[in-house]
Amino acid sequence: MNHLTDIDALSDEQINNLLDEALRYDRIIRAGQDLKGPLAGILQFNLFYENSTRTSLSFEVAGKRLGADVVAVPVAASSVHKGESLRDTVLTLAAQGADIMVLRASGAGTIDASKVALKEAGFGTAIVNAGEGAFGHPTQALLDAATLMSAFERTPDDDGLRGLSIAILGDLVHSRVAASCCALFARLGADLRLCAPQELLPTSKPDGVGLVTTSRFEALEGVDVAMALRMQTERFEADLAIDPAGYREDFGLTMDALSFAKPTAFVMHPGPMNRGIEIDSDVADDPSRSLILQQVAMGVPTRMAVLRHAANR
Ligand code: CP
């Protein structure tokens, strides 16, 4: 079994293999071909301590399509609400035979701590990070990269995302998606620009990022891709107040703002969207520009690739 905890924990070869496999599964699904059940006999628990639609369901669909036995842990109805710790819950599922545990949690270091607890207790269960607080969401970054490669007709082994300019706008300081996308897109050769109000910008420029700015127009000038991020008000400190109307005016992905990008530029958003705040509906729903539903669709084949990596099959 192989853990998947972070983009930085993956080698270039593993990243290329995961993206190749995601794009291969995407073609197989579109062609309606037989998936042959390579994960038959694998027990997969999905343990989500934070709400999810896209990630939890795509991991469930992916596991079932590959023939795994998939159990979605009902956290709200579990002994978590009698005070059972995350560590004890993880060990309980491992003792029930979990081969793969897909885990979403809010605390920093939760994913690594779970990995260590499993090892110390002698379990071979693979942990897959399905989103850890504001720190990382590696499978979202992988599916976003696969979506871009499909849209730009690129391949992981050949040109990756080399030379593509990508602007990421929004609540960068709270975004696990931004953290993982920056790490992955930079490794794949993209030219990255980040834009947010000062209080939502990272305190230092992440590795591989070319530009950090509070100017939406500077960020979007001539880009190939504009990605908006969700305003994560649930993670805001009590003293951080952002006015949604003012935010849209200065930082929202509106048609006017998008006119600064290339005329062929694509639009992305990891979801869920706050329409009318970080992105306007006419942008999000424009079929010639928006890759948002393609991102959702690519979640299934990407997570199929991730589960095969985790199961080492
Ligand atoms: N993008 C993403 O992680 O969405 P969910 O929270 O719905 O899983």
Whose Cα sits closest to atom 4 in ligand 1?
Answer: 54
Ligand 1 atom closest to Cα of 58?
8
Higher-scoring residue by pLDDT: 265, 233: 265
Q: Domain 139-295 belongs to what topology?
A: Rossmann fold (3.40.50)
Q: Measured in angstroms, how far is the CA atom of residue 58 from the centroid of ligand 1?
A: 10
Q: Measured in angstroms, how far is the CA atom of residue 196 from the centroid of ligand 1?
A: 21
Residue 239, pLDDT > 70, answer no
Token pair, residue 267, equals 């639009």
Report how far residue 224's alpha carbon sits from residue 80's, in angstroms, rounded to the nearest whole number. Answer: 45
Residue 44: its pLDDT value, please? 98
Residue 294: pLDDT band with limits 50, 70, 90:
very high
Higher-scoring residue by pLDDT: 179, 35: 179
Residue 203: its pLDDT value, please? 87
Strand-pairing partners, residue 225, are 166, 266
Ligand 1 atom closest to Cα of 271?
1
Residue with tokens 């002698």: 122
- Percent of the chain residues topping a pLDDT of 70: 98
Measured from CB, residues less than 6 Å from any atom of ligand 1 are: 52-55, 131, 140, 270-272
| Tens digits of residue pLDDT in 60-113 | 999 999 999 999 999 998 999 899 999 999 999 999 999 999 999 999 899 999
| Tens digits of residue pLDDT in 16-73 | 999 999 999 999 999 999 888 999 999 999 999 999 999 999 999 999 999 999 999 9
Mean per-residue pLDDT, 298-308: 98
pTM: 0.97
- Percent of the chain residues topping a pLDDT of 90: 88
The answer for 120, left when phi > 0, alpha when psi is -120 to 50, beta otherwise, is: alpha
Whose Cα sits closest to atom 5 in ligand 1?
Answer: 52
Which of 48, 135, 139, 140 for mutating ligand 1's site (highest number of atoms within 8 Å of CB)? 140
Using alpha carbons, select from 29, 26, 21, 24 the residue that is nearest to residue 4: 21
Instruction: Tell whether domain 7-136+299-311 is in CATH 3.40.50.1370.
Output: yes
Residue 238: its pLDDT value, please? 62
Q: Omega before 74 cis (within 30°)?
A: no
Report how far residue 168's alpha carbon sits from residue 86's, in angstroms, rounded to the nearest whole number. Answer: 33
Residue with tokens 């970080």: 278
Token pair, residue 245, equals 């109307």
Q: Give the chain's radius of gyration (CA, Å).
A: 19
Q: Which helix (H) or strand (E) holds 209?
A: strand 209-213
Q: Strand order of the sheet with strand 191-195?
A: 209-213, 191-195, 165-169, 225-228, 266-268
- Amino acid occupying residue 20: D
Ligand 1 atom closest to Cα of 137?
3
Using alpha carbons, select from 69, 148, 56, 140 the residue that is nearest to residue 102: 56
Token pair, residue 275, equals 């329409």
What is the residue-wise DSSP string for 136-169? B-HHHHHHHHHHHHHHTT--TTTTTTTT-EEEEE
Using alpha carbons, select from 270, 295, 302 the residue that is nearest to residue 62: 302
Residues forming CATH 3.40.50.1370 domain(s) in the chain: 7-136+299-311, 139-295
